[in-house]
Copies of this chain bind each other. A is one copy, B any other.
Amino acid sequence: MMAGESYLALMGHILVDLEAEMKAARQEQIEISPIFWQIVDYQFGWDLGPDQAALYQKVSGKKARPVLMALVAQAVKGDYQHVLSAGVALEFVHNFTLIHDDVMDHSPERRHRPAIWTQWGNWQAINAGDGLYALAILASTRLIKQGIAPEKVVRVIQSLSQGCLWTAEGQILDMDFERRESVTTAEYVTMISHKSGTLIEAAAQIGALLSTDNEQIIQAYGQFARDLGIAFQVRDDYLGAWGDEAKTGKSATTDIREKKKAFPILAAYEHANTADRAALRALYAQETLSDDDVQTVLMIMERAGAKSRTDQIARQYYDLALQHLESTGIQNEAQKAIRQFAEFLVERAY
């Protein structure tokens, strides 16, 4: 980053370069049938023409993980070009998990458009996700051509795959929680640490390991990102119960209405008095919750101190994340940008 170059300008450069590298990785696999690309192009908004730039902005995704990876590389080594292929791999992996998750959650929309399964059916969505996973690993091997030592490339692939394994396991735990009667907040934090934290951890870890051999720095960035991922998810849960709809674009109380086993309700269960806990159990045994039911749940949450507990846990992991970031000892413009990025991710809509 040039001295004085703004945070937004740096982000802009990274996004443009990532986009170009994504297209290059796609181009390498042009022999793969158009029916595969039709689905995958749609996921990334590559089906849109140059005259649909505004829509493209909405549907192409914010690429938070590769951007974080690039920022870490910039902070550690003063450049990010050498991590772009790994960033693309991570973005492909992330999108593979989104495509599969949308099928499983029956979520009709993704980034303001119908989700893939609504257009091509559940199974073709699963197949396209599987292919995108393979494409991700192939994208990461492009690092070889870019002069990265093969030992490092293998470590990148290990970090990426370990993140994928934890993410799949976290998703299994999450779906298992839905059918279980009770889940502790501690179990929940473990689950989101696996399901939401490990790919963000991989992002920062890979950004660092491609930029230094200092294992302490590599680990510190990884831990920073994992804790940031947990903070982000708990904060997201907070907004799902008490968010400002105007600011978040997500209806407050959505999670309650959908009876999602998110942090606030689990905290309420854990700390409610006996009568309230029985009331919660009865409400959550119902098929659906009425407006009045939602208000009752909110009141019980209030009495159990769920709001402040949720806020406190999000802040606690955010603070931990920042401590890990500081422990790297790195101080420069890009490191400042990482802090801004983290703040943007977690503090949004406070």
What residues make up the interface of A, taking CB atoms closer than 8 Å to B? 29, 32-33, 35-36, 39, 97, 100, 103-104, 123-124, 126-128, 130-131, 133-135, 137-138, 141, 144, 149-151, 153-154, 157-158, 161-162, 164-166, 168-169, 171-173, 175-176
The answer to whether B153 touches A138 (Cβ under 8 A) is no
The CA of A150 and the CA of B103, in the complex, are separated in Å by: 37
Known: A29-B165, A165-B135, A169-B32. Is A154-B141 also a contact (CB below 8 A)?
A: yes
Q: Which residues of B contact A131 (CB under 8 A)?
A: 164-165, 168-169, 172
The CA of A32 and the CA of B163, in the complex, are separated in Å by: 11
From A100, A149, A165, residue with most partner B Cβ within 10 Å: A165
Q: Which residues of B contact A133 (CB under 8 A)?
A: 130, 133, 164
The CA of A153 and the CA of B176, in the complex, are separated in Å by: 36
The answer to whether B150 touches A32 (Cβ under 8 A) is no
The answer to whether A172 touches B104 (Cβ under 8 A) is no
The answer to whether B141 touches A172 (Cβ under 8 A) is no
Q: Which residue of B lies closest to A176 (CB)?
A: B35
Known: A127-B168, A154-B144, A154-B153. Is A161-B175 also a contact (CB below 8 A)?
A: no
For A33, give its contact among B35, B151, B169 (CB under 8 Å).
B169
Q: Which residue of B lies closest to A163 (CB)?
A: B134
Known: A134-B165, A138-B158. Is A33-B123 also a contact (CB below 8 A)?
A: no
For A150, give its contact among B123, B154, B161 (CB under 8 Å).
B154
The answer to whether B154 touches A138 (Cβ under 8 A) is no
For A104, give its contact among B126, B134, B175, B176 (CB under 8 Å).
B126
Q: Which residues of B contact A173 (CB under 8 A)?
A: 33, 35
Query: Can you spell out 6 A-B residue pairs with CB atoms less than 8 angstroms apart?
Result: A35-B176, A36-B172, A131-B168, A133-B133, A134-B162, A141-B158
The CA of A150 and the CA of B150, in the complex, are separated in Å by: 5
Q: Which residues of B contact A168 (CB under 8 A)?
A: 36, 127-128, 130-131, 134
Q: Which residues of B contact A151 (CB under 8 A)?
A: 144, 150
The answer to whether B153 touches A137 (Cβ under 8 A) is no
Q: Which residue of B lies closest to A121 (CB)?
A: B175
Q: Which residues of B contact A144 (CB under 8 A)?
A: 151, 154
Q: Which residues of B contact A164 (CB under 8 A)?
A: 130-131, 133-134, 137
The CA of A137 and the CA of B159, in the complex, are separated in Å by: 11
Known: A29-B165, A154-B153. Is A172-B138 also a contact (CB below 8 A)?
A: no
Q: Which residue of B lies closest to A149 (CB)?
A: B150
Distance from A286 Cβ to chain B, minimum over Cβ atoms (Å)? 23
Q: Which residues of B contact A32 (CB under 8 A)?
A: 165-166, 169
